[in-house]
Amino acid sequence: MRTPGILIFGLVFSPCGWILNLTSTVAANWRTLTSVAGQSVDTVVNQGIWDICYSLTTSTQITCNKRDTDSLYFSNQIITIAQGMMVASLVVTAIGLAIVTPGARCWSNQKPRWVLASMGGLLIFCSGVLTIIPIAWYTRLLPSLNTTTTFVNPQSPQINVGYCIVLGYIGGIMEVLAGVVLFVGICRCCGGRNRGEYPVHTNPPITTTRPRPTQHARTHVPRSISTRSSSSVPYSRNALDDDLDFPRAKGHHGKGTVNPSYSGRPYDADL
């Protein structure tokens, strides 16, 4: 039996979502601050849930481990919640994949273990929810998070969304979709098509029919030929002239001639 499509979908989307969530968790780019007071114009402050990094738009140099410079930022409640939920999401996804993998294909069994695969899909679904909740909460509080960083113009601070927010949304949605699709396998619906199965149709009984005899086309025989062939009376000259459908060739004197020495029956080739 081939691996059903829903299992392939879950086994592909779940690791991809896990990698995106891992990048979103460890990278320090949940939000970016520009136009910072006391720094050069091209300085960009990248704030994450574990660390703060400084970078320059005119170079590729990045300076991290600046957590101690902004202790007020890490005192926000959402930072602590995001740290715990993102780590929990990574752990739950790993456990779900460890359960789904043997359930999707077992070398000693031809059919997948649907209950085991569905339980793993439920864990992956929960891990996706654990990722989306802190990401959405952080996005809502993004402009109002407390920080010791000051701006050149405090009335209009330059705060932008970091790429970790985008990666977190994508990874969480992929895990949610993978978990839902894997959990569908616990029930057999659509005639087994969701599991890659198809209903077995019984073969109709074989009936033997006797072949019909071949009917040959009937050949029409002209009346003049059939009359002469069935008659046993020798033909006379006058009777022969009456049965002919075409005029007989005439001699030099305009009279028809018949070979008197011929005693057999006339045929079409002789006429």
Q: What is the CATH number of the domain that holds 149?
A: 1.20.140.150
Average pLDDT score over residue span 144-172: 88
* Model pLDDT, residue 31: 92
For residue 96, which of 5, 187, 6, 175 has the smallest C-alpha distance?
A: 175
* Model pLDDT, residue 182: 87
More confident residue, 167 or 212: 167
User: At 219, is the secondary structure helix, strand, or coil?
Assistant: coil
Return phi, psi of residue 256, to 5°: -75, 145
Side by side, the strands of the sheet bearing 52-56 are: 62-63, 52-56, 43-47, 31-34, 158-161
pTM: 0.66
Indicate the range of 141-150, 163-172, 220-229 predicted with least confidence.
220-229
- Residue 109 in domain: yes
- For residue 133, the Cα-to-chain-centroid distance in whole angstroms is 30
- Residue 207 in domain: no
**Could you report the per-residue pLDDT of 232-271, keeping only the tens digit for each?**
555 555 555 555 555 555 555 545 555 555 555 665 555 5
Contacts of 122 (CB under 8 A, 6+ apart): 96, 179, 182, 183
- Residue 221 in domain: no
Tokens 């704030």 locate to: 47
Q: How much of the chain is helix, strand and coil, in % rounded to 5?
A: 50, 10, 40
Q: Reply yes or no on whether the pLDDT at 53 is more than 60.
A: yes
- Residue 257 in domain: no
Report the 10 Å Cβ neighbour count for 149: 18
Distance separating alpha carbons of residues 108 and 220, to the nearest angstrom: 76
CA-derived radius of gyration, the chain: 48
Q: Reply yes or no on whether the pLDDT at 30 is more than 60.
A: yes
Distance separating alpha carbons of residues 271 and 259, to the nearest angstrom: 12
Write the Ramachandran bin of 117: left for phi over 0, alpha for psi from -120 to 50, otherwise beta.
alpha
Q: What percent of the chain has pLDDT over 90?
A: 31
**Which residue segment(s) compose the domain that 98 sits in?**
5-193
- Residue 84 in domain: yes
Distance separating alpha carbons of residues 144 and 207, to the nearest angstrom: 82
Distance separating alpha carbons of residues 232 and 229, to the nearest angstrom: 8
- Residue 137 in domain: yes
User: At 32, is the secondary structure helix, strand, or coil?
Assistant: strand
- Residue 267 in domain: no
- Residue 258 in domain: no
Q: Reply yes or no on whether the pLDDT at 33 is more than 50.
A: yes
* Model pLDDT, residue 226: 47
Distance separating alpha carbons of residues 97 and 260, to the nearest angstrom: 113
Q: Residue 200's pLDDT band (boundaries 50, 70, 90)?
A: very low
Mean pLDDT value across the chain: 77
Contacts of 136 (CB under 8 A, 6+ apart): none
Number of domains in the chain: 1
**Could you report the per-residue pLDDT of 215-237, keeping only the tens digit for each?**
655 665 555 544 444 445 555 55
Q: Reply yes or no on whether the pLDDT at 202 is more than 50.
A: no
